[in-house]
Structure 1
């Protein structure tokens, strides 16, 4: 008997007759047994690998056989659009077995929420933020609503685990399990990651080591440390150099006529500008990015899914599993910052029988070409970044203590850690944070109980504490309206900079003339214009490349080529980049380069932003105090000699220290004000460091050269 036969017979009947599938895919087949047994699991497959069904079919079978009642399965996603996309599919599967699925997030109407509370669905699709909002809401009897919970599915779990939303997700799940008094099965769905076992352990939270768990990944090659990587992954990949966004638009307009093309850009500004250029060339073009209104994005995605000869230009918003129909081609402007992102985007193509996954890279300058070549070099080796949760999430611990007091109205000043079942950092290690919350008035303490205090009311009480459920901070933006219809949001700088004539914006690939600005309500009214619009958004926090990608760029400069097709333009431009930057690399280690004038000394580590930040903080005796470092190099004091250098770094590996953090950076760490300043700065410093990468650089030889 195959694993498929273990599924409920009604479900099997519909798989064969309603879906008309000849059988389950390998991942779906392999997931049946562990999920029916109640094991925690991480299901890995490329984009469009059938992960949703691999989780849903066994859990719906268990739901029916074991007579689960009430809301017994939560399906969590990082994006509301992804939930919207999945809900009809999951509701159809549930309906086969007489069950119901429902949607709950910020865009769901109040009347629909009331209906859900009155008649609990068997499967609830939501986000972690909306789940916490339910826990703290006075309108939701959370104990009764979640009493029947048996399993949680976390879709795109890698997208959570790599940032603070992952810590928030884990903390909320722990509070849920404490609330209902038993553990729940945890199932993660993910694209390819470099550390699946560690990711599964992370997802299990306090249950790690005590609950059965397995990684299910029959479609993916097994990478064994110390052994050669498998053959180059399949895919028709081409790397081209185009020199400008205008030239990229010409190529996209002239190639692949009649095909459906998805173009990824690395910024919202580039999406807007490319969309406008393509429309100017008569190409049917749609746009998608986070600063467009939800309605605008949905209209674009639906129109694109139904069209044929067209282009949709997007940021990473379409990287995850939102269905936009059957694509012919993916085009990448410049390069994503991770191999994992590239794999997600590549997986958008090659879904039709007889088609192959493909991606065309269009690099706008030499740096982008070098970075793209390096990323494809790593991809060709089968390497993918490990997903690692950000260290020391003290600010999330502060947020969770406040949220618990809001949820329960009061919490015992000695028993509160029980709500997170011993999971650090939501345990007694957070005592200093608790003391700070009490001292600063975020919490009141009386009779051994903790209550929400006046400072928490003042800072987070707006709209029934809704700002407390989101753990990230967005840059302030103005809402743009055409009449009463929301178009999207723009950076305030576009509304304050000096202009000669009309103030014009570029949004959704079209130009708009500003007619009125409501400064108090942060709203901007516009009407269509015939061109001249500008787009701009401020990016928060620091950015930078990782150690492996930076090192791969060094390899490319030393002559390594990615296993993909390079156009003649790309070959010629890459040769020029190698010639120009040849003094900055050598195969035996790093280079310290003094320019011809003798007043500029730079250490070319090719170690990435965080490793260089760590080195700069450690070697303060020799690092320039003003212009310090980037992904590739560290600027040194101009008077450092080779002998002094060797003496100063002799013991550097033994005294590596965390980077310095400017206090202004705390603005990007939500809830940092609920921490003692020293702990908030320590959190950011830990996240800015790469001790392992810094140590690797210090272990290499260094060559002093003149330009």
Structure 2
């Protein structure tokens, strides 16, 4: 501390000392990015290790990313260099000799991912008591990144299993910059005793925020073609015609503005898709070449090689010459990439929490504001324009998210997911660790602790029977469960240790010809309409194994510009969107074009009477605006389809093939349904297998697990009752 020139501790660092130094309680430290959370945790933790000279202590530090482990290894090594405490990184890129040294003398700080910790249990189960005997703390970094996911369930289970091996409860320390509802963070960190956790929330952010939202209008295609002198040739496919959007005025204009305002500084640019990352990185590089200046723009996403990603990270960290990364969520978490001046968001942010995480990268120098530039592109309205475009859904959602960000709100994680898929993996892992386990042991080790609290004993027995039928496990005459033939092969495969699969995209095929690919987060049913590449399509078939959706062209008006393919939108965001449209005062952070587009949306909103009624439409079709999030809207769409009413969740509204009067009648029918009777509601959903081990679940457990993670069934029925009761 003296050598770093510190004259005082930050508030979280000061408060953490009495909470952590005696290793006698669980603690959550919530502070803004770059607020010194690592030091807040490790100054008292290292003090504890050094105060007890009787035995060498150890700390298990668990991180979601290898890159973050490498970053923290460097940081903690500097902190520990005079303390004679080893800092050991453990993941796939670390040499076996370094790992062996830790196993022989397990002391100091072990930095590890959940997957590598899982591998320790599977491959070194019998030796773990010796490896973990000196553990005094478990530290979980980026706590928010785990809550509500399969990986989070895996981590909860692993922490409990570590404590079983050690034979006592260990202090669990959670670090995070982004925590919505603290009660969810408490419940995640210690499911059995959430109220016993000490929470330290830093109040010292107080950072100035600079925001501008810029609006862009797309010129009609004829103007774009004539401007570029490249009319489509007869016989070109629709996909080739659609590629002209790469030369569309809004994208070119956005790239030009980014080039103008970002050059000369380090920045992060977030388009919403990998294809867009490549397009903007290429366009910005071309602009550098045109001006005869060195390239400052680097792509960064998960499909790129490790070497190319590291090139971008090194350029950012160096800072001179300046560098900007055009990236996806890969640069959201806390890898040290130096000082970032501006965060640019192209299109609507995936969520308020994501936007907050991204913005936390900007303005880290003392006195420097965090700067956000958001770019929204819309299309000119015609008499065929969709309701989404009439209400400028993308722009209004962006405004709502920024307003909620400024107000300090962001989405709490969806923590009620059952994640039975991860329970399958943890059962196999525990069986491998112990050399066999009884059903009673699995219940005690995995479920009684609270990690899988929503699973009943009868459901565990059903799951184990299903695993037996799939040859994942076998039972000997004493009742001991052992790996089955398939289970043995899977446990010995390197991919076993991950509890999740990477987000895969579905390929869209029409008449055997590819249209492109897209991630699918919504329930898919045959006959459903989707929007892709500026056109409407109807789903004919879904092949889960091949990740293929077969479509045909669907009838209908002009599809909306805003496709809403990002993260599930929260109820609070849609409430705020309605507030934005209800108001008449200008929005202070919009440029002139964006304000004009907002004024247009507000006029359309009031002209349709949507301030006082939730339904608008004709005698044959309606749009229902619930102003609820996608978990509720998806559930309501499934309920309506179940009672025979054609319905699609288009994002902002539900498109229903009935008049307003008949829609109200249908909602009254839905209001009488039982939310717990999910089998008939989900029988036509084609893509319930979302998580890695879902294929091994009995169908009733698959349905319950899917519904718990992706649908608000009870809220949908209550909403149907409320709206259906209107005159």
Report the TM-score range of the alignment, normalised by the length of the smaller protein: 0.7 to 0.9
Deviations along 1:474-495, whole A, 9 cap, x unmatched?
3679xxxxxxxxxxxx9999xx
Return closer, same or farther for 1:661/1:90 CA change in 2, 3 Å cut-off: farther
1:654-665 equivalence runs, <5 A: 655-656=674-675, 660=682, 662=684, 664-665=686-687
| Contact residue 160 and residue 449 of structure 2 kept, 8 A | no
The CA distance in 1 between the partners of 2:602 and 2:673, in whole Å, is: 35
The CA distance in 1 between the partners of 2:106 and 2:589, in whole Å, is: 54
- After superposition, the CA RMSD in angstroms is 3.2
1:40 match: 26
| Contact residue 397 and residue 430 of structure 1 kept, 8 A | no
* Counterpart check, 1:629 vs 2:657: no
The CA distance in 2 between the partners of 1:386 and 1:651, in whole Å, is: 28
* Counterpart check, 1:455 vs 2:508: no
1:593 aligns with one of 610, 613, 616:
616
| Contact residue 32 and residue 177 of structure 2 kept, 8 A | yes
Q: Which moved more, 1:254-263 or 1:552-561?
A: 552-561
Return closer, same or farther for 1:307/1:562 CA change in 2, 3 Å cut-off: farther
TM-score (structure 2 length as normaliser): 0.78
2:151 match: 165
| Contact residue 603 and residue 635 of structure 1 kept, 8 A | yes
Secondary structure of the equivalent of 1:325? coil
The CA distance in 1 between the partners of 2:278 and 2:665, in whole Å, is: 50
| Contact residue 667 and residue 721 of structure 2 kept, 8 A | no
2:291 match: none
| Contact residue 100 and residue 123 of structure 1 kept, 8 A | yes
| Contact residue 334 and residue 368 of structure 1 kept, 8 A | yes
The CA distance in 2 between the partners of 1:194 and 1:24, in whole Å, is: 25
2:700 match: 678
1:60 aligns with one of 29, 46, 49:
46
2:15 match: 30
Return closer, same or farther for 1:356/1:43 CA change in 2, 3 Å cut-off: same
The CA distance in 2 between the partners of 1:21 and 1:207, in whole Å, is: 36
Report the Cα offset of residue 703 of structure 1.
Answer: 11
Report the Cα offset of residue 32 of structure 1.
Answer: 1.1
Return closer, same or farther for 1:569/1:542 CA change in 2, 3 Å cut-off: closer
Return closer, same or farther for 1:67/1:207 CA change in 2, 3 Å cut-off: farther
The CA distance in 2 between the partners of 1:155 and 1:541, in whole Å, is: 29
* Counterpart check, 1:645 vs 2:664: yes
1:608 aligns with one of 629, 644, 663:
629
1:64-213 equivalence runs, <5 A: 64-67=50-53, 69=55, 72-138=58-124, 141-209=127-195, 212-213=196-197
1:485 match: none
2:404 match: 378
Report the Cα offset of residue 699 of structure 1.
Answer: 6.6
Deviations along 1:76-127, whole A, 9 cap, x unmatched?
1111111111111112212222101111112223333333333434101111
Report the Cα offset of residue 412 of structure 1.
Answer: 2.5
1:356 match: 369
| Contact residue 157 and residue 426 of structure 2 kept, 8 A | yes
2:259 aligns with one of 253, 260, 283:
253
* Counterpart check, 1:305 vs 2:329: no
The CA distance in 2 between the partners of 1:564 and 1:130, in whole Å, is: 48
Report the Cα offset of residue 650 of structure 1.
Answer: 7.6
The CA distance in 1 between the partners of 2:701 and 2:494, in whole Å, is: 25
The CA distance in 1 between the partners of 2:430 and 2:584, in whole Å, is: 54
| Contact residue 237 and residue 565 of structure 1 kept, 8 A | yes
1:285 aligns with one of 283, 297, 307:
297
TM-score (structure 1 length as normaliser): 0.80
Return closer, same or farther for 1:416/1:556 CA change in 2, 3 Å cut-off: same
The CA distance in 1 between the partners of 2:579 and 2:664, in whole Å, is: 25
The CA distance in 1 between the partners of 2:125 and 2:100, in whole Å, is: 9
The CA distance in 2 between the partners of 1:582 and 1:329, in whole Å, is: 36
* Counterpart check, 1:273 vs 2:303: no
| Contact residue 264 and residue 332 of structure 1 kept, 8 A | yes
Return closer, same or farther for 1:68/1:341 CA change in 2, 3 Å cut-off: farther
The CA distance in 2 between the partners of 1:201 and 1:638, in whole Å, is: 44
1:332 match: 345
Could you tell me which runs of 5 or more consecutive residues in structure 2 were left unpaired when the two chains were aligned.
218-249, 289-294, 379-391, 516-562
Secondary structure of the equivalent of 2:180? coil
Secondary structure of the equivalent of 2:645? coil
Deviations along 1:514-569, whole A, 9 cap, x unmatched?
xxxxxxxxxxxxxxxxxxxxxxxxx9999531211122222222226696421111
Return closer, same or farther for 1:251/1:131 CA change in 2, 3 Å cut-off: same
Return closer, same or farther for 1:339/1:202 CA change in 2, 3 Å cut-off: same
2:232 match: none
The CA distance in 2 between the partners of 1:466 and 1:540, in whole Å, is: 35
Return closer, same or farther for 1:332/1:665 CA change in 2, 3 Å cut-off: same
1:219-618 equivalence runs, <5 A: 219=203, 234-243=208-217, 244-282=250-288, 283-308=295-320, 309-365=322-378, 366-420=392-446, 422-423=449-450, 424-425=452-453, 428=457, 430-446=460-476, 447-458=478-489, 460-461=490-491, 464-474=492-502, 543-559=567-583, 564-582=588-606, 586-588=610-612, 590-595=613-618, 598-618=619-639
Report the Cα offset of residue 432 of structure 1.
Answer: 1.8
| Contact residue 188 and residue 200 of structure 1 kept, 8 A | no
Report the Cα offset of residue 687 of structure 1.
Answer: 1.9
Give the length in aligned residue pairs. 618
Return closer, same or farther for 1:189/1:25 CA change in 2, 3 Å cut-off: same
| Contact residue 101 and residue 122 of structure 1 kept, 8 A | yes
| Contact residue 49 and residue 57 of structure 2 kept, 8 A | no
Return closer, same or farther for 1:204/1:666 CA change in 2, 3 Å cut-off: same
Secondary structure of the equivalent of 2:283? helix
Report the Cα offset of residue 583 of structure 1.
Answer: 5.1
The CA distance in 2 between the partners of 1:476 and 1:201, in whole Å, is: 30
| Contact residue 91 and residue 101 of structure 1 kept, 8 A | yes
| Contact residue 39 and residue 185 of structure 1 kept, 8 A | yes
